[in-house]
């Protein structure tokens, strides 16, 4: 199943696997911001080198990354084409109606392509080396400063972990419901608008009802174990800041400074 | 009793977030393709959440959907349109929050004035769905009319009619669809919900 968050985690013991989720999350975020400062060949080249080092450090074979990019390739090509055909300026090679191809638009198209690849790579590294639950923990740590303004960070994180925990469960239930309806002769793939509406209702009602039952059972179970609020909750896994995190941060920050220096102003 | 209520609310919200995440990643239950168009049924989930849990929680669920759209616009865009437009958090998040707010307010108002629950849910769903379409359209127009987007230096003025066409042709069938299907789903689910949360 082509998925951007679930079922992609690959267990491992690499450098990137051992980093704490909060710094992986922050570094991905930081990397995406730095990408938007890149505007010439050298900046994109240095970012590409950095991401290649990260991929090697993650110990995941490059095939997984290519597999992640494949379903998106048409979309990327289409966006790059839009970019090439609709941007203006520079020496025009070809032009027809609203479309035109110039040297600047070709160069920009190439940059957009690399930019897409870089962003997809960094997010793939994150989801391949971090479990969804660890990501939820990371979110909690990253958002901690918001507690000062009474934003319910802990409640949000708990909600997110429960949601992530139940996505596969609901997915299984969905599968069961689909098969049950198919065995009754419902055809989901085709038909008129009216037909499709009729097909959607018997899928969604059991899905929602199932989710409500889960919520009810889970709250009973949580209270039976003495759950009162999400703030004073202890954790099974505690992620600590390690030397690996510090070294990675230093490397990423150095590349960020480099990009700021060699970009065209 | 307040503790019990809180835990239940937390879990209900978590389940709806899970459903939203599921719908954004599985095409069959998130989007219904009709000819060349794709109708999103996620606004309907937001409206169901609003009817069951109230306006505030509906807005939270809408916000979660918006945030997912925002993140996906970078890492896993669903269409070239998403990659260009939804990287702006104001366009991706705010309209989705407003689905919950508008549908919630409509529903609470109509509940008092209309006898038929079906009618009030239906109208709330149509309003919620239209809010999404109109706000996304309006914000795209506001943001990209004057200046080129930051991410892609595309001359957006020439693209604008195309963008508006795509969203407009999707928006109307989406609203009709929401108006018909939401009550069909919300009413039986509400019965079960009322039984559990009593």
pLDDT tens string for chain A (265 positions)?
A: 445 555 577 888 888 888 888 899 899 989 988 888 888 888 888 899 998 998 888 888 888 888 777 777 877 888 788 777 776 666 777 777 666 777 777 888 888 888 888 888 888 888 888 888 888 888 888 888 888 888 888 888 889 889 988 988 898 898 899 889 889 887 776 667 677 777 778 888 999 999 999 999 999 898 888 887 777 777 777 777 888 888 888 888 998 888 888 887 6
Cα gap B29→B100, rounded to integer Å: 20
Cβ contact A39:A265 at 8 Å: no
Q: Note the pLDDT tens digit of each residue in A100-114.
A: 777 777 888 888 888
Q: Note the pLDDT tens digit of each residue in A156-176.
A: 888 988 998 898 889 889 889
Q: Which residues of B touch A38 (CB under 8 A)?
A: none
Six-digit token string for A157: 């994180």
Cα B181-B58-B96 angle, rounded to 5 deg: 80
Cα gap B194→B188, rounded to integer Å: 10
For β-strands B31-34 and B37-40, DSSP reports them as antiparallel
Locus of tokens 């084409």: A81
* Residue B151's pLDDT band (cuts 50, 70, 90): very low
Give me the residues of A, 193-222, that contact B with CB < 8 A: 193, 196-197, 200-201, 203-205, 207-209, 211-216, 218-219, 222
Cα gap B192→B3, rounded to integer Å: 21
Local structure of A100: helix, strand or coil: strand
Cα gap A13→A200, rounded to integer Å: 43
Cβ contact A86:A79 at 8 Å: no
Q: Which CATH architecture has domain B3-197?
A: Orthogonal Bundle (1.10)
Cβ contact A99:A86 at 8 Å: yes
Q: What is the DSSP letter of A88?
A: -
Give me the residues of A, 54-113, that contact B with CB < 8 A: 72, 75, 78-79, 82-83, 86-88, 98, 108, 112
For chains A and B, count residue pairs whose Cβ atoms are closer than 8 Å.
Answer: 163
Cβ contact A262:A42 at 8 Å: yes
Cα gap A219→B165, rounded to integer Å: 46
Cβ count near B42 (within 10 Å): 22
Q: Which helix (H) or strand (E) holds A93?
A: strand A92-96
Tell if the pTM clears 0.90, that is, is over it: no
- Judge residue B150's burial from the number of C-beta atoms within 10 Å of its C-beta, 0-12 exposed, 13-18 middle, 19 or more buried: exposed
Locus of tokens 């009802």: A209
A96 forms bridges with which residues in the sheet?
A: A99
Q: So where are chain B's domains? A: 3-197
Cα gap B131→B47, rounded to integer Å: 12
Q: Which residues of B touch A32 (CB under 8 A)?
A: 74
Cβ contact A58:A129 at 8 Å: yes
Local structure of A236: helix, strand or coil: coil
Name, in order, each residue with C-beta under 8 angstroms of B46's C-beta and a sequence gap of 6 or more.
B20, B58, B61, B62, B65, B96, B99, B100, B103, B128
**b/e code A16-26 from CB counts within 10 Å (16+ = b):** bbebbbbbbbb
Cα A212-A217-A220 angle, rounded to 5 deg: 130
Q: Which residues of A touch B192 (CB under 8 A)?
A: 209, 212-213
Cα gap A227→B9, rounded to integer Å: 13
Cα A198-A202-A203 angle, rounded to 5 deg: 110
Question: Looking at this predicted complex, what is its ipTM?
Answer: 0.84
Question: Which residue in B179, B9, B191 sits closest to A205, CA to CA?
Answer: B191
Cα gap A46→A38, rounded to integer Å: 10
Which member of A72, A88, A167 has the closest CB to residue B18? A167
Q: Where are the beta strands (DSSP E) in chain B?
A: 31-34, 37-40
């Amino acid at each position: 199943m082509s998925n951007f968050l679930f079922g992609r985690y690959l267990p491992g013991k690499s450098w990137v696997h051992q980093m704490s989720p909060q710094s992986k999350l922050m570094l991905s975020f930081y990397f995406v911001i730095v990408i938007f400062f890149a505007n010439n060949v050298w900046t994109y080249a240095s970012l590409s080198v950095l991401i290649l080092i990260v991929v090697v450090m993650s110990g995941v074979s490059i095939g997984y990354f290519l597999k992640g990019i494949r379903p998106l390739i048409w979309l990327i090509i289409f966006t790059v084409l839009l970019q090439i055909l609709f941007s203006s300026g520079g020496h025009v090679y070809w032009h027809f109606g609203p479309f035109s191809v110039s040297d600047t638009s070709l160069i920009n198209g190439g940059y957009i392509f690399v930019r897409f690849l870089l962003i997809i790579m960094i997010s793939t590294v994150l989801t391949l080396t971090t479990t969804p639950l660890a990501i939820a923990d990371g979110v909690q740590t990253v958002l901690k400063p918001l507690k000062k303004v009474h934003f319910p960070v802990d409640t949000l994180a708990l909600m997110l972990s429960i949601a992530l925990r139940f996505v596969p469960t609901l997915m299984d239930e969905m599968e069961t419901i689909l098969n049950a309806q198919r065995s009754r002769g419902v055809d989901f793939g085709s038909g008129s608008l009216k037909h499709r509406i009729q097909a959607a209702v018997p899928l969604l009602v059991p899905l929602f009802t199932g989710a409500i039952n889960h919520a009810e059972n889970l709250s009973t179970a949580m209270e039976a174990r003495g759950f009162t609020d999400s703030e004073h909750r202890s954790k099974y896994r505690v992620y600590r800041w390690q030397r690996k995190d510090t070294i990675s941060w230093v490397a990423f920050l150095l590349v960020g400074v480099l990009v700021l220096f060699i970009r065209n102003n | 009793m307040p503790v019990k209520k809180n835990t239940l609310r937390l879990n209900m919200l978590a389940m709806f977030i899970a459903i939203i995440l599921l719908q954004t990643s599985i095409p069959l239950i998130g989007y219904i393709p009709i000819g060349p168009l794709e109708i999103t049924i996620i606004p309907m989930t937001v409206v169901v959440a609003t009817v069951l849990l109230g306006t505030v929680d509906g807005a939270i669920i809408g916000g979660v959907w918006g945030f997912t759209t925002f993140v996906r616009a970078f890492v896993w865009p669903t269409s070239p349109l998403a990659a260009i437009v939804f990287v702006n958090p104001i366009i991706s998040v705010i309209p989705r929050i407003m689905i919950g707010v508008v549908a919630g307010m409509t529903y609470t108002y109509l509940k008092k004035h209309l006898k038929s629950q079906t009618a009030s849910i239906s109208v709330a769903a149509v309003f919620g769905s239209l809010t999404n379409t109109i706000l996304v359209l309006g914000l795209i127009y506001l943001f990209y009319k004057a200046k080129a987007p930051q991410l892609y230096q595309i001359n957006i003025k020439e693209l604008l009619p195309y963008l508006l066409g795509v969203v407009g042709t999707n928006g109307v069938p989406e609203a009709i669809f929401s108006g018909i299907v939401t009550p069909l789903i919300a009413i039986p689910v509400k019965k079960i919900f009322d039984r559990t949360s009593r």
